[in-house]
Amino acid sequence: MTRQEVIISYHKSPDSELSPLFYNVIERLTGNVNFKFEAERMITFKEYVADFDKKLIKAQNGTSQDIAVKNASKKILCDFVREVASEVNLQAKGDPIKLQSTGFTLSKERKKVGILEKPENFKVKSGANQGDFLLEVDVNKNASFYNFYSAPVPAPANIQEWRLTPSTSHKKNISGFTPGKEYEFKCAYQGSEDTLLYSDSIRAFAH
C-alpha cells in the first residue's frame, strides 16, 4: 500500500519557480476547508515570499553580497514552507483530493513501512527564550516528521485536544508557554500510517 504526500523541500528548486508556486499555495490554502491554518500564518508566508522576490530581483544584476542575501532569504522561506507542507501532509492523511487542493507539488507515492515504534529518549528542556521549551527525541529514519504535543496540567485525556507542533527535525524549540505554569509533553513519530505510538509523558514548568 502507498500513501500520497506533497513535497516538503524546495531548497534546491530553481529560484524562478518558487514565487509563482508559493503565491498559488497561499491563495489555495487561504479559506481551504480541508485544512486548519491561522490567518497570521498565511500573512507570514506571503511576507517571506515578497522578501525573497525583492532580494531575487536585486541579485540578478547585483553583487556577490546581493546573491548571498538572496540565498539567505530563500533558506528562510524554504524552511518555513517545509513546516507548512509537513502540516499539510499531517492534516490530509494521504487524501489525494485534499493534497491537490493545496497547490503544492505532489511527491511520488511512498511505500508504507508500518506503524512506527514508540519514541524513546524523549527530553524536555528550557528553550532559547522565556516561555520556550526545547523538545528532543531520537531520530527515526522512517519518520516523515516528528509530532510534539503539549498541554497545561492537568492535560486532557484526549491527545487530539493537546497543542500539536509537527517538525521535520527531531529537535524543536517551541514558544508561547506561560512562565511559572506546568505543562505536560508527549511526542510521536509520523510515518505512512495514521496510527501513532506516543512516548511516555514528561511534565515541566515553563521559565
pLDDT at residue number 54: 95
* Average pLDDT of the segment spanning 124-146: 92
Place of cell 524552511: 79
Sign of the torsion formed by the C-alpha atoms of 17, 167, 85 and 132: negative
DSSP assignment of the chain, as one string?
-EE--B----TTS-HHHHHHHHHHHHHHHTT-TT----HHHHHHHHHHHHHHHHHHHHHHTS-HHHHHHHHHHHHHHHHHHHHHHHHHHHHHTT-HHHHHTT-PPBPPPEEP--SPPPP-S-EEEE-SSTT-EEEE----TT-SEEEEEEEESSPPSSGGGSEEEEESSSEEEE--PPTT-EEEEEEEEE-SSS---BPPPEEEE--
The per-residue pLDDT for 1 is: 47
Question: What HEC string does 99-157 produce?
Answer: HHCCCCCECCCEECCCCCCCCCCCEEEECCCCCCEEEECCCCCCCCEEEEEEEECCCCC
The predicted pLDDT at position 163 comes to: 95
Instruction: Render pLDDT for 13-36 as a digit per residue (tens, 0 to 9).
Output: 999 999 999 999 999 999 999 999
**How large is the average pLDDT for residues 89-115?**
84
The CATH number, out of the four listed (2.60.110.10, 3.40.50.720, 2.60.40.10, 3.40.1180.10), of the domain defined by the range 114-205: 2.60.40.10
Above 80 in pLDDT, residue 175?
yes
CB proximity list for 14: less than 8 A, separation 6 or greater: none
Question: Distance between CA 162 and CA 52 in Å, rounded?
Answer: 34
φ, ψ of residue 184 in degrees (nearest 5)? -115, 145
Query: Would you list the domain boundaries of the chain?
Result: 2-100, 114-205
Answer yes or no: pTM beyond 0.75. Answer: no
Angle ∠(125,78,45) on CA atoms, nearest 5: 90
List the one residue out of 143, 39, 50, 145 whose CA is nearest residue 88.
Answer: 145
Q: What is the pLDDT of residue 111?
A: 58
